[in-house]
A and B are shown apart, each in its own frame.
Chain A
Amino acid sequence: MNPHDVVISGIGLVSSLGEGPDAHWQKLVQPRLEPVLEASRFSPYTVHPLPEVDWNLQISKRGDQRQMETWQRLGTYAAGLALDDAGIKGNDELCATMDMVVAAGGGERDEAVDAAILAASESRNDRDVLLNEKLTTELRPTLFLAQLSNLLAGNISIVHKVTGSSRTFMGEEGAGVAAVETAAARIRSGQSTHILVGGAFQTEHSDMLLGYELAGYLHRGPWRPVWQRQGAEGGGVVTGSGGAFLVLEQREHATSRGRKIYAELGPVLSGRARRRRGELDGEIAMLLKQAALPDGELLAISGASGAHAATAAEKSALEANPAIAARGFATLTGHMKEAQFPFAVALAALAVDREAAYPVFDATVEKPFAGVPKTVLATAIGYHQFEGMALIKAA
């Protein structure tokens, strides 16, 4: 143990399964848990929808809620859960010195305005003029702020008063990986003592589905577990709404204020395989090697998206090591894009903290893990690009 170790002292989670680390643990340890699915609203796509959330619990001012759309509310809410869990929320001094790295995509566009413009475009040749005409009169001025990537962090500053620093990383799963990796590096080097890191994804909006489907990545037809979508109709990804925020803290800082530590965050690894050149298999193998996995049985919390090529590559890399027992949590939560890696790290930390593994999420593919997980691997192999892993260890 080193006083400059990075530890996880707060977890905020929201998914279709509920909210908070305890609720997720209770659900996920139930054998043969059924996923929460919404198959009709976005048919032919199935999504894992948000649970009922009382935004007031973390965003007390209605005025603040009105300035956001669901994505920013969700992220701000999950961030609040993590801050509460770490005993930082409402502590002015800790919030004012807290750094923040948010992994973000974009917020929701106004679907009705867009649809009206598209409908009008069928009978107009001057489409650029049409655009000016409609956008100048029909866009809500504040919607722009609800769409801006860095305004999730901005809202967290406003609502929760986290103001040490504020950085937003973009780039799908890779943004989540880089956010956790950078935050950990800052703590290890003594640049920071406590950092809020995480992201959110709100899939229940057509543009969020379009972001995958322009390359045909979404799974269609009857739902299947994440490892069993090869050969099915569509591209294999089933998305979910959710958010995951972690409070990462220097060990000394956390212990000196008497906080519960879930786990230590060990090495965080990232990579960029040039997949068109067939480098993905080699990249995953190299990351596993760099992680220096401990001897013996190892639980792996996989962020696999279901995307055919990336998921097949990850599955075969994990199966190549008989000691690894993988859990593809997208089976139960769906793919949460920027939030996927922070979510994987959170679930890994929970298993380490509770000294128990999750049961299989898919009995036909995953194998049981009987022991006490002292070290857990978390992965996020991007559906299209970028790869990351981390080892989470007993505190």
Chain B
Amino acid sequence: MANLNDHMGRPIVAVTGIGVVTSLGVGKADNWAALTSGKSGIHPITRFPVDHLNTRISGMVDFLPSSSKGASLLTYELAETAAQEAMSEAGLDAGDFGGPLFLASPPVELDWSERFSLYNSDTHDTGAERLLRVARGLRELDIFETTQFGSIADRLADRFGTRGLPITLSTACASGATAIQLGVEAIRRGECDRALSIGADGSATAEALIRFSLLSALSTHNDIPEKASKPFSKDRDGFVLAEGSGALVLESLEAALARGATILGILRGCGEKADDFHRTRSKPDGSPAIAAVRAALADAGLSEDGIDYVNAHGTSTPENDKMEHLSLSTVFGERISSMPVSSNKSMIGHTLSAAGAVEAAFSLMTMRESVIPPTINYDNPDPAIVLDVVPNTKRNAEVGTVLSNSFGFGGQNTCLVMAREPV
């Protein structure tokens, strides 16, 4: 008889379904094959013209029916696709999930294509006044829905029959991890037996790209797109904007075993700590990231020795990778130089609101498959960052526990600890 409660007497939370979409493809099989063969999904931007842009590459998802229909519809389709895969793997009725929904998705705004078409459908007044005039004459809700922050989750709740008020959240680049954390907490509190946690981001618009570009956050290595994302390398110059989604069906271990579900992994601990230093930069001593890692370990009931592998945030920005190394080496000490630490973002770019969920999905697969995906483009190591980044080629290894890091603008730091087996 398995132990059904964790070291703090809370229900153990199992993963029974996983779904994922990235620029590498739809579904776990395609993604895993590409990820473990070191293939990059980063490619030239074709969705919109790149005139005047310093960055002309991305990891956009260009192969879905909604890929050209705007951020809101694409984010919905990404979320739905990943959730559908997770539901079917979990063997649940995909129209009657019966647990709460936690959705990490990007903040929404009226797309420029809609702004242009609304504006140019009238000639009275100018600027915002004209938009408002046209708006009040609209007779259908399609455009309105794209501007409501709760609409994507509302549609998903209809689609999958989730229970209650769905929560849409943003903790910037940590959002996906926060969605999982909220699901874990709801199960631990006994509010539900199962929860659906999704991170989805289809918001790689021209304006989003320009905004990140103006903050000097993006790589401008346009010439060989697949080489642009190079976490932990000396010549890393920014992240690569990307899209994707990850979905997990979380269940109390007890409920999952009772219905005979396959246990794909355990969500063992979550930790967070906010940074009060700066809107985009981390506190120089790394203390908030360090505290988040330690909080996740404590929540999981593990010591520093208990982690086999780190799925790094590893964005390929000069700042993040340096800070992540500092925080990991502070927490894990000498051991960090011999612990595998790899970054999925070297191949899929930074999927922003989805990243924490996508990378949790890959972390769980790493344990199940006993294969660690590599950090590709590691040709020119940063001498200041001494890590075993699993350079360039995958590695076969037994992995029983993973730490997955997510750090974001606004001082957001969230870490997840996952395990292959219940304790």
Contacts and interface: CB of A to CB of B under 8 A. Distances in A.
Interface in B169-194: 169-172, 178, 182, 185, 188-189, 191
A35 B126 CA distance: 30
A119 B126 contact: yes
Contacts of B259: none
Interface stretch (A54-62, A76-84, A140-148, A254-262): A140-148
Interface centre among A121, A145, A154, A178 (most CB of B within 10 A): A154
Contacts of B154: 272, 385-386
Contacts of B50: 132
A215 B136 CA distance: 7
Nearest to B150: A171
A162 interface: yes
A175 B165 CA distance: 9
B247 to A, nearest CB: 18
A9 interface: no
A210 B135 contact: yes
Interface in A123-172: 126-129, 131-133, 135-137, 139, 141, 144-145, 147-151, 153-155, 157-158, 161-172
A151 B189 CA distance: 28
Given A154-B411, A167-B178, A111 B107 contact: no
B166 A272 contact: yes
Contacts of A147: 107
Interface stretch (B74-82, B139-147, B332-340, B388-396): B139-147
A185 interface: yes
Contacts of A164: 273-274
Interface in B254-299: 272-280, 288
A191 B49 CA distance: 49
Contacts of A384: 148
Contact of B126 (A106, A115, A154, A274): A115
Given A128-B48, A154-B410, A271-B164, A210 B276 contact: no
Given A118-B116, A133-B52, A136-B52, A218 B171 contact: no
A128 B69 CA distance: 14
Contact of A151 (B131, B165, B409): B409
A120 to B, nearest CB: 10
B150 A385 contact: yes
A217 to B, nearest CB: 9
B272 A144 contact: no
A306 interface: no
Nearest to A149: B107
B94 interface: no
B319 to A, nearest CB: 15
A169 B126 contact: no
A263 B262 CA distance: 46
A153 B410 contact: yes
Contacts of B48: 128, 131-132
B127 A118 contact: yes
Contacts of B51: 129, 132-133
Interface string A358-395: 00000000000000000000000010111110000000
A42 to B, nearest CB: 8
A67 interface: yes
Interface residues of A, number: 82
Contacts of B108: 106
A139 B153 CA distance: 30
A105 interface: yes
B171 A168 contact: yes
A165 B178 CA distance: 11
A206 interface: yes
Interface stretch (B22-30, B36-44, B209-217, B225-233): B209-217
A89 B372 CA distance: 46
Contacts of B130: 118
A218 B136 contact: yes
Contacts of A170: 105, 107, 149-150, 168-170
Nearest to B50: A132
Nearest to A141: B214
A270 B165 contact: yes
Contacts of A128: 48-49, 206
A233 B143 CA distance: 22
Contacts of B410: 145, 148, 150-151, 153-155, 157, 166
A111 B136 contact: no
Interface string A174-187: 11011001100110
B273 A214 contact: no
Nearest to A211: B147
Contact of B164 (A162, A214, A272): A272
A234 B137 CA distance: 10
B412 interface: yes
B167 interface: yes
B182 A166 contact: no
A118 B117 CA distance: 10
Interface string B107-129: 11110100110011000001111
A285 to B, nearest CB: 16
A128 to B, nearest CB: 5
A244 B41 CA distance: 44
A163 B165 contact: no
A355 to B, nearest CB: 32
A199 B272 CA distance: 21
Interface string A211-223: 1011110101000
A272 B107 contact: no
Contact of A132 (B128, B191, B206, B280): B206
Contacts of B116: 118, 121, 127
A313 interface: no
B157 interface: yes
Interface centre among A153, A169, A270, A271 (most CB of B within 10 A): A169
A45 B213 CA distance: 37
Nearest to A179: B167
B149 A234 contact: no
Nearest to A172: B150
Given A132-B52, A213-B132, A385-B148, A271 B165 contact: yes
A158 B277 contact: yes
Given A165-B274, A168-B169, A214 B143 contact: yes
Contacts of A178: 165, 167
Contact of B165 (A126, A148, A177): A177
Interface in A190-215: 191, 206-207, 209-211, 213-215
A109 interface: yes
A139 B210 contact: yes
A295 interface: no
B273 A163 contact: yes
A270 B191 CA distance: 13
6 contacts: A106-B109, A115-B128, A149-B149, A150-B409, A164-B274, A168-B171
Given A132-B53, A209-B132, 13 more contacts: A111-B127, A121-B116, A122-B120, A131-B112, A132-B206, A148-B172, A149-B170, A158-B276, A171-B148, A177-B165, A206-B128, A214-B143, A274-B158
* Minimum-distance CB pairs A-B, first 6: A154-B410, A171-B150, A206-B128, A115-B127, A170-B149, A214-B144
